A and B are shown apart, each in its own frame.
Chain A
Amino acid sequence: MTERLRVHVDPDKCQGHARCKALAPELFELDEFGNAHEAGDGTVPPGLEDKAWLAKSNCPEIAIDVIEE
């Protein structure tokens, strides 16, 4: 059984670089100001794990957590 991943954006750190939305559009959404939050409850559907890690490692503000559940 592979572990499930969940992504979370810290709204106090996010400055709207929108890198996560560009790299993993299925996992993140932007508000009217262009700031990001996780889509739904942040659960990463199977097959999108790489994109979750990619989004985390490209966030200039280190605002994204990938939680292994």
Chain B
Amino acid sequence: MSDVSQPVAHPPVTDWVHDFDHTDPQWTEDPFPIWDELRTASPVVHTKRFLGCYMPTTYEAVREIANDTEHFSSRRIIVRDVRPEVARNAAPPITSDPPVHKPAKQLLLPPFTPDAMKKLEPRMRAICNELIDGFIADGKVDAAARYSKYIPVRAIAHMLGIPESDSDLFIKWIHMILELGIKDESKLLQAVQEMSAYFSAHIEQRKTRPTDDLISYLMNAKDKEGNPLEDSHVLGSLRLLLIAGIDTTWSAIGSSLWHLAKTPADRERLIAEPALMPTAVEELLRAYSPVTMAREVVKDTEISGCPVRAGNMVLLSFPAANRDPAVFPDADKVVIDRRENRHAAFGLGIHRCVGSNLARMEMQVALEEWLKRIPDFRLDPAGRVTWSQGTVRGPRQLPFLLGKAM
């Protein structure tokens, strides 16, 4: 590969409106005031960083872009310092545009319906309890490192039919792709290669010994002409499911626990009114949406009255859209019984997250099982909460003290 780039140093941001940078430490730590400032300035802002990038700041501007596949391509979905050549079959359907997108997406949808997720729920509850068993007696825990991190990785491993014990390997690849890879191309390529080799071996095994799992499902799937998928398509989809399914939900569960640790009233209410949990999960998804996507502008156009030029990237911040006070009253507050909630945490338009039903089930189960066993917990003042940098936002260190405060 000739286009492997060296890590780029990013100068600190002093003018957010004209020079935003979603990898800046201030953004990582507390992005909400920054988004409010940008939204007040304009529905679309621009930075020269990342070889040129826009960011829609309102819910409406985000919706316009998500629904406009003519001017905004998904061939690149991470805003980075470099624009390497676009690979064919990179990770369909998330990196696909119409008309290729729909058949690739439809292939993945049936295993992820709400009914399919119900069948997984008992295993998920068992996983959560096994994890809690591992630390509950200690009186303290890093809930990101020992709880929220392992729930989605074990769930997707279970669905794919790969050993749950390979979890740490998957977590390493995801860190290399989504965090280190933004500034260091070589880390991303290394992770993609290792991941492809890993899945190729699992595909080969199943050619002689088919299994009842998602890998075999994809190997048996047919495209719209009735032909089996190319190995590169199967591999791309597997990479996507692993990458998309893990640190996203890890982040959502972690942020939810972080909120509950700081908010005893919400905890007590959820314990007293368990039927409120699904509504609360939607609100936690709105307020702490983990996933920011990207598009590449492929044709000049206008969004919310702002000119948008081809060749730039777009940071498609669903989290910022979900904090828009024009759509959500008290947008900066967590209202766990919010009745009207059209949040865009799983995206809008044709790229709606394939795993949204899985993520919701995992969040609900993770919070229910936690609250059953650990009704009282708080942030450990001796520790520090840290947040991931880049495309997916959530706590990576979440030190809690368990039990009632003395």
Shortest CB distance B57–A (Å) = 18
Interface centre among A17, A21, A33 (most CB of B within 10 A): A17
Residues of A within 8 A of B48 (CB): none
Contact B356 A18 (CB under 8 A): yes
Q: Does B346 contact A (CB under 8 A)?
A: yes
Contact A17 B356 (CB under 8 A): yes
Contact B342 A58 (CB under 8 A): yes
A59 CB contact (under 8 Å) in B106, B115, B342: B342
Contact A22 B340 (CB under 8 A): no
Q: Does A30 contact B (CB under 8 A)?
A: yes
Assuming the contacts A15-B350, A33-B109, A60-B348, asked whether A22 and B339 have C-beta atoms less than 8 A apart, the reply is no
Closest to A16 in B: B352
Shortest CB distance B136–A (Å) = 31
Shortest CB distance B65–A (Å) = 15
Closest to B342 in A: A60
Residues of B within 8 A of A54 (CB): 339-340
Closest to A18 in B: B114
Interface residues of B in 343-375 (CB under 8 A from A): 343-344, 346, 348-350, 352, 356-357
Contact A32 B113 (CB under 8 A): yes
Q: Does A10 contact B (CB under 8 A)?
A: no
Assuming the contacts A16-B352, A18-B114, asked whether A34 and B342 have C-beta atoms less than 8 A apart, the reply is no
Shortest CB distance B107–A (Å) = 10
Contact A17 B110 (CB under 8 A): no
Residues of B within 8 A of A61 (CB): 348-349
Assuming the contacts A17-B352, A18-B357, A61-B348, asked whether A33 and B340 have C-beta atoms less than 8 A apart, the reply is no
Contact A58 B340 (CB under 8 A): yes
How many residues of chain B are within 8 Å of chain A by beta carbon?
22
A30 vs B357: C-alpha distance when bound (angstroms): 12
Closest to B351 in A: A15
Contact B344 A16 (CB under 8 A): no
Contact A57 B356 (CB under 8 A): no
Shortest CB distance B354–A (Å) = 9
Contact A60 B343 (CB under 8 A): yes
Residues of A within 8 A of B263 (CB): none
A30 vs B281: C-alpha distance when bound (angstroms): 21
Residues of A within 8 A of B352 (CB): 15-17, 60
B113 CB contact (under 8 Å) in A15, A30, A57, A62: A30
Contact A22 B278 (CB under 8 A): yes
A16 vs B349: C-alpha distance when bound (angstroms): 10
A48 vs B176: C-alpha distance when bound (angstroms): 49
Residues of A within 8 A of B135 (CB): none
Shortest CB distance A35–B (Å) = 8
Q: Does B112 contact A (CB under 8 A)?
A: yes
A17 vs B341: C-alpha distance when bound (angstroms): 12
A52 vs B180: C-alpha distance when bound (angstroms): 46
Closest to A34 in B: B113
Closest to A59 in B: B342
List residues of A whose CB falls within 8 A of some B CB: 15-19, 21-22, 30, 32-34, 54, 57-62
Besides the known contacts A17-B352, A30-B113, A34-B114, 16 further A-B residue pairs in the complex with CB atoms under 8 A apart: A15-B349, A17-B346, A18-B114, A18-B357, A22-B114, A32-B109, A32-B110, A32-B113, A33-B109, A34-B110, A34-B357, A54-B339, A54-B340, A58-B340, A60-B343, A60-B344
Can you give 20 contacting A-B residue pairs, CB < 8 Å? A15-B352, A16-B109, A17-B346, A17-B356, A18-B357, A21-B114, A30-B115, A32-B110, A32-B113, A33-B106, A33-B109, A33-B110, A34-B114, A34-B357, A54-B340, A57-B339, A58-B282, A60-B342, A60-B343, A60-B352
